[in-house]
Chain A
Amino acid sequence: MDSPSASGGDEAAIIAILLNPGAAPADKRLAFQRLHACYSSDLLAFLRSRVGTGSMMDVSQTVWLSVWQKIAAKFDGRNFRAWLYQIARHEAINHHRKYKKASTVQLPESLRDYRVPLSNEDEELRRVLEECLGMLDPRSRDVIRARLGGALTNEEIAELFNLSRARLFSLVSETKSTLTKCVKEKLS
């Protein structure tokens, strides 16, 4: 399958420069920048999901420095994307080992099977929102769950809860603002 960022042939040309021990250092640096330009956006999105906003940039730097230092010796020249995310995944797991309680990180035999949990900050958001949801009256809670469940249309939700569309709209809007305020207060 093609790379999301470049055609296979173009990427191969860039990689070839990085793998060529005889290539001029300036060409290697330029090729490295091109790789970064192609993959950094998705890599940052991936790392943000795994290590949180506060550490995303640091871990990304570690990953790219690792690519720069190891590509000539460790990359087999076949699938750069897979290799890049193998490094990224490894660094994300290292980050979790470092910042989460060691006992909560149970590693399976294959790192590929390891499902990286949410970062501390996202886990905190989940916990706080759950608390705030628990403070709602049951009807508002059920309505917001139905609204954010992705299965029912507004018409179906209104019918299910015996509400007019206008009332449903205002109830959802009020509940969202109550929850936002509650989460904000608890996180600040």
Chain B
Amino acid sequence: MRLISFDMPDAVYEFAPWLEAQIVGLHLAELVAELAAIHHVRTLPAVSVADFLGASAFQLILTQGLKPLPTSSLQQLVSHPYYLLELQERIFTDGGPYWRNVPRSDAIQAACKQSLLMLQDKLTLAESLPATDGQNAASEPEMPWASTLEASAWYQRPWPWVLNLATAAAVFIIVYLSFRVPQNDFGKPEASKLVWTSPEDLSKPASAEQYWQRLATVKRWWFSEKPANKVQLALRMGQLSQGCSVLILQEHRHLPPEAGERLRQKCRDWAKELNGYIVELQKGDADFQEIQKKTDALVIRLSDKLESGMKS
């Protein structure tokens, strides 16, 4: 965990570029929250950011960024941080070409790729959006619009029918799998199946919310069988441990990158705790019911975390 405001540069000349990067990045709201706490600001602004900064300073920001602003204006924004949120919106809706060149972070570019993939998943089922161009399109920070469109236009590609066929095949496979696999709905898995150990199930199209719910079905799976002895308990704990390994190694493309990373980190903690219980069980003289209780508690805790989207 790091607090964004603590990265604020010491040097005045570094401050404007740093704040510009925050405005086009994924951490502006955290910065605003932190600055609001530090400067004890609790109420949302009553006037617009243009009125607050003055029309000329505001226009300057839209056309030339924050660097030409006097230090006093930057200080006003820092000590009244909620204005930064409206400023961000106005820059995105009315900002000039200057803002196009403010570097975007790797994290936000990765999130864009993920957004396009998720969108393709949704549109593929409904409208068959071609998947082949998606990643390239998302990775191009500036689009030479017309030329790119011409170069990759549908009717000018070498074998358009191949893509048609591939799309049709992909839809067929999805439909086929959805009938073949007994667990045909991510939200309603078979109690006897641990979704964690099934990368293909984890990869099925889903919103972030559905994905968390899918992961949280681990509780239903765990409590669907009560081990009668140490061997049965060890086998079941082994499966759970394998599931943790899959989640640690799996690319969680339904989640924002930061959330995926948090999930992996949490899985490492859970795996460590679980493996501790397994070692305890393997000692032979351990009270297996006691270990089962501890594992039950762990499963409830982790399932609650997952169900809440890791917010609790």
Contact = CB atoms under 8 A, between A and B. Distances in A.
A129 B41 CA distance: 12
B183 interface: no
Contacts of A9: 146
B246 interface: no
Interface in A41-60: 41-46, 48-50, 52-58, 60
A20 interface: no
A174 interface: no
Interface residues of A, number: 80
B145 to A, nearest CB: 3
A14 B145 contact: yes
Contacts of B155: 24, 26
A166 interface: no
B119 A64 contact: yes
B32 interface: yes
Interface in B21-36: 23-30, 32-36
A58 B209 contact: yes
B82 A115 contact: yes
A73 interface: no
B34 A30 contact: no
A85 B28 CA distance: 17
Contact of A119 (B2, B29, B207): B29
Nearest to B45: A115
A11 B95 CA distance: 16
Contacts of A37: 112, 116, 137-138, 140, 143
A14 B28 CA distance: 31
A36 interface: yes
B33 A118 contact: yes
A53 B259 contact: yes
A140 to B, nearest CB: 12
A76 interface: no
A7 to B, nearest CB: 7
A149 interface: yes
Contact of B115 (A11, A60, A148, A179): A60
Interface string B171-197: 000000000000000000000000000
A133 interface: yes
Contact of B145 (A11, A121, A148): A11
Interface in B122-138: 122-123, 127, 129-130, 133-134, 137-138
Given A37-B138, A46-B89, A148-B38, 4 more contacts: A10-B143, A37-B112, A153-B12, A180-B6
Interface of A: 1-2, 4-7, 9-11, 13-14, 17, 24-27, 29-34, 36-38, 40-46, 48-50, 52-58, 60-61, 64-65, 68, 81-82, 85, 89, 115-123, 125-127, 129-130, 133, 144-145, 148-151, 153-154, 176, 179-180, 183-184, 187
Q: Which 9 A-B residue pairs are closest in the complex by CB-CB distance?
A: A10-B145, A26-B154, A150-B78, A129-B37, A126-B33, A130-B37, A49-B29, A122-B33, A4-B100
